Amino acid sequence: MKIAIVQMRSSEDKQENLKKSVEFIAEAAGKGAGLVCFPEFQMAFSPASQSAGQLAGIAETVKGSFVSTLSAAAKQNKIGVVATIYEKSDKPQHVYDTAVMINPSGTVTSVYRKLHLYDALGFKESAKLVPGKKIIRPAKTNAGNVGLMICYDLRFPEMSRILTVKGADLLVAPSGWVAGEMKEEHWQTMVKARAIENGSYVAAPAQVGNIYCGRSMVVDPFGVVLVDMGQREGVEAVEIDRARIKKIRQSLPLLKNRRTDIYDLST
């Protein structure tokens, strides 16, 4: 099975980004991918000068036109899609940072709201965003059981382990990784670590340009980097092998060797 990741530079124009996204879905399908994964902030770039109210003004529900258009494109191209939106919330002038899983029939099968907000290294996402409240059970797809995370979630290894214990063999982490001192090194290290420690593929599509460092990656269960897109905007497709997951987990049985009599992250 091939999966594709999209590295894109989202503008502040939601409709422009939607049009570009539909084109990327068709391109990924044309490369033979069964699943295409978009980065965080796919809907729009939110500059520091944009107020929380202005951002809330472009947010939609999961049933809104942004997701509906992507669902139609998924169905037309017979491809699964992991997309991201700013989702309306009940908190005034705050939105969820949300990832949605769309199957090749165009149906939304999973909705994940980012748990860990990036209030670190000079940023304060909680000024505009509201955190989600739960980890979403991995979704069954033709590419495997997909566990969803978003960006800063990668810095919290408990989350990827819980998703793996619940059945994930492909972790997808849409990201907008802010550039800065040691940031690319952190990014590469953690994407690879989450793959190695769980014996899972990790697909990490990312934003490029604006304030972001790019470097969208796909890493295999043994830590082999299959894709690193550098600073290139576009689509990259790669073959993933579910048999390799089984082989790696047998030869490096990290999940089996856990001391669950001492600690338990299965909740």
Provide the β-strand partners of residue 224.
none
List, in order, residues 6 or more apart from 132 with CB less than 8 Å away.
Answer: 96, 98, 112, 113, 114, 115
Which one is catalytic: 20, 37, 40, 87? 40
Which one is catalytic: 14, 20, 151, 236? 151
213 belongs to the catalytic site: no
List, in order, residues 6 or more apart from 145 with CB less than 8 Å away.
Answer: 138, 139, 167, 168, 169, 170
- In 10 A of CB 253, how many CB atoms? 11
Angle, helices 183-198 vs 157-165, to 10°: value is 30
40 belongs to the catalytic site: yes
List, in order, residues 6 or more apart from 249 with CB less than 8 Å away.
Answer: 199, 221, 255, 256
* Structure tokens that stand for 261 in this block: 């009599």
181 belongs to the catalytic site: no
Q: How far apart are CA 27 and CA 219, in angstroms?
A: 21
Which one is catalytic: 20, 114, 128, 192? 114
Q: Which residues are catalytic?
A: 40, 114, 151
